[in-house]
């Protein structure tokens, strides 16, 4: 016990401001990596690798096992090289999210036109839900979806609820694919979307989500687009964005969510936690209670 206390005191004696900054940077990098793989299957694998490495390190430090310690030290560099290979899809997806941080819908569209687009999509989704007609509507943002437009039929038509209803009506030639909305136009329909491989839907307790929902999650994982999906079996309306899905929506909630995505955000000069701290420090304090 005395040895541990002496080591702690020795550590604090050598601690400098540069060491504190170094520790904060390492902590920030580890936190960022954990945020990148959060909500994916990689987090389970990463947790298992951390438990294995810690267990072996503690075992080799408590029990004199020279051969096993040599094997562990030799295998550790190879493990560090294998981690980026194993987690390559999650790392790529996380870096894409960082690059798309703060992105909004394409500017240059008048507020009245934005309201018309939102009304058309929300109204069509509600009517498709009432009729139990499956649909997948992908709204393009900063990331261009030209490669997916090429897989369908180009329309370049004015976006209206009636057009969306006609496209997704059962047994029509284009009802199986996705419709891509670009600005205020319907760019294409019958488009093929990439399927999600994150396993989010397989972990869901409900099994009503099929290929449309996987495609909605898939396009939200590889782009910053917003996907509106209507279930053919249940009529439920969902929105997928950034690898996450919001379910059980009605026309009003869908309208509010799309309006939040369309609303441009002012660029932040400070991180969110610093802005909250500044707002809290600048807020008027209640008067002190009198005795």
**pLDDT tens across 171-227, in order?**
899 998 999 999 889 999 999 999 887 666 655 555 556 889 999 999 998 888 899
Q: Output the pLDDT for position 249.
A: 93
pLDDT grade for 130, boundaries at 50, 70 and 90: very high
pLDDT score at 290: 42
The least confident of 15-29, 211-225, 233-247 is: 15-29
CB–CB of 137/212 below 8 Å?
Answer: no
pLDDT for res 242: 84
Do 208 and 234 touch, CB atoms closer than 8 A? yes
Instruction: Using a pLDDT cut of 70, give the percent of the chain over it.
Output: 71
Q: Is residue 95 part of a domain?
A: yes
Mean pLDDT of the chain: 78
User: In terms of domains, do 91 and 120 share one?
Assistant: no
Is 233 found in the same domain as 136? yes
DSSP state string for 212-237: HHHHHHHHHHHSS-EEEEE-TTT--E
Residue 187 lies in a domain: yes
Mean pLDDT of 115-129: 94
Of 140, 125, 127, the closest CA to residue 219 belongs to: 140
Determine the Cα–Cα distance for residues 24 and 41; give it in Å rounded to an integer. 27
Residue 276, in any domain of the structure: no
pLDDT computed for residue 237 by the predictor: 95
Q: By residue range, what is the domain housing residue 28?
A: 2-99
| 36 plus 132 within the same structural domain | no
Q: Which of 39, 64, 99 is the last residue of a domain?
A: 99
Distances (CA, A) of 104 to 221, 245, 261, 264, 275: 16, 18, 7, 6, 21
pLDDT beyond 60 at 265: no
In a domain, residue 94? The reply is: yes
Residues 161-168, mean pLDDT to the nearest whole number? 95
What's the mean pLDDT in 40-45? 61
User: Could you tell me if residue 288 is inside a domain?
Assistant: no
Whole-Å CA distances, 65 to 18, 51, 59, 61, 73: 36, 19, 9, 9, 12
283 within domain boundaries: no
Q: Are residues 39 and 144 in the same domain?
A: no
User: Quick one: 223 and 166 in the same domain?
Assistant: yes
Domain total of the chain: 2
Query: Are 94 and 119 found together in one domain?
Result: no
What local confidence, expressed as pLDDT, does residue 283 receive? 47
Is 34 in the same domain as 157? Answer: no
Which of 24-28, 37-41, 282-286 is modeled with the greatest confidence? 24-28
Given 45, 76, 99, the domain boundary residue is 99
Mean local confidence (pLDDT), 10-19: 75
| CA 214 centroid distance within chain | 14
Is the domain of 255 the same as that of 126? yes
Residue 276 confidence class, pLDDT cut points 50, 70, 90 = low
115 and 95 in a single domain? The answer is: no
Q: Is residue 269 in some structural domain?
A: no
| Residues 32 and 78 reside in one and the same domain | yes
DSSP SS3 for 153 = strand
Read off the pLDDT of each residue in 250-279 and give the average, rounded to a whole number.
Answer: 69
Domain-ending residue, one of 99, 128, 157: 99
Question: Do 82 and 122 belong together in one domain?
Answer: no
Tell me which residue of 220, 71, 243 sits closest to 148, measured CA to CA.
220
pLDDT at 285 over 80: no
216 domain residue, yes or no:
yes
pLDDT-based confidence at residue 122 (cuts at 50, 70, 90): very high
pLDDT at 288: 46
Q: What is the CATH number of the domain that holds 203?
A: 3.40.1700.10
Q: Where are the alpha helices (DSSP H) in the chain?
A: 2-13, 17-37, 42-62, 66-86, 88-99, 111-130, 146-149, 161-167, 211-222, 251-262, 272-282
Q: Per-residue pLDDT tens for 58-111?
A: 777 777 778 877 777 777 777 777 767 766 666 666 666 666 554 445 445 677
According to the model, what pLDDT value does residue 281 have? 52
Q: Are residues 117 and 244 in the same domain?
A: yes
């Amino acid at each position: 016990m005395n040895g541990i206390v002496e080591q702690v005191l020795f550590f604090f004696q050598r601690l400098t401001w540069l060491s504190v900054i170094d520790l904060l940077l390492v902590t920030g990098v580890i936190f960022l990596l954990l945020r990148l793989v959060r909500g994916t299957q990689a987090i389970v694998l990463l947790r298992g690798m951390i438990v294995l490495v810690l267990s072996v390190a503690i075992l080799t430090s408590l029990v004199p096992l020279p051969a096993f310690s040599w094997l562990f030290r030799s295998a550790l560099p190879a493990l560090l090289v294998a981690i980026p290979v194993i987690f390559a899809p999650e790392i790529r997806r996380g870096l894409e999210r960082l690059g798309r941080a703060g992105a909004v819908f394409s500017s240059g569209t008048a507020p009245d036109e934005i309201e018309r687009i939102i009304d058309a999509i929300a109204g069509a989704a509600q009517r498709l839900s009432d009729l139990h007609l499956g649909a997948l509507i992908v709204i393009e943002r900063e990331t261009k979806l030209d490669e997916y437009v090429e897989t369908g039929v180009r329309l370049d038509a004015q976006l209206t609820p009636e057009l969306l209803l006609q496209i997704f009506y059962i047994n029509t030639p284009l009802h199986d694919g996705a419709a891509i909305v670009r600005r205020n136009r319907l760019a294409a329909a019958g488009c093929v979307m990439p399927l999600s491989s994150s396993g989010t839907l397989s972990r869901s307790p409900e099994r009503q989500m099929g290929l449309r929902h996987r495609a909605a999650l898939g396009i939200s994982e590889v782009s910053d687009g917003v996907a509106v999906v209507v279930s053919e079996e249940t009529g439920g309306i969902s929105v997928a964005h950034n690898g996450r899905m919001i379910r059980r929506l009605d026309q009003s909630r869908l309208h509010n969510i799309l309006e939040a995505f369309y609303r441009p955000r002012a660029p932040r000069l400070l991180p969110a936690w610093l802005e909250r701290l500044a707002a809290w420090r600048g807020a008027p304090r209640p008067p002190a209670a009198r005795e």
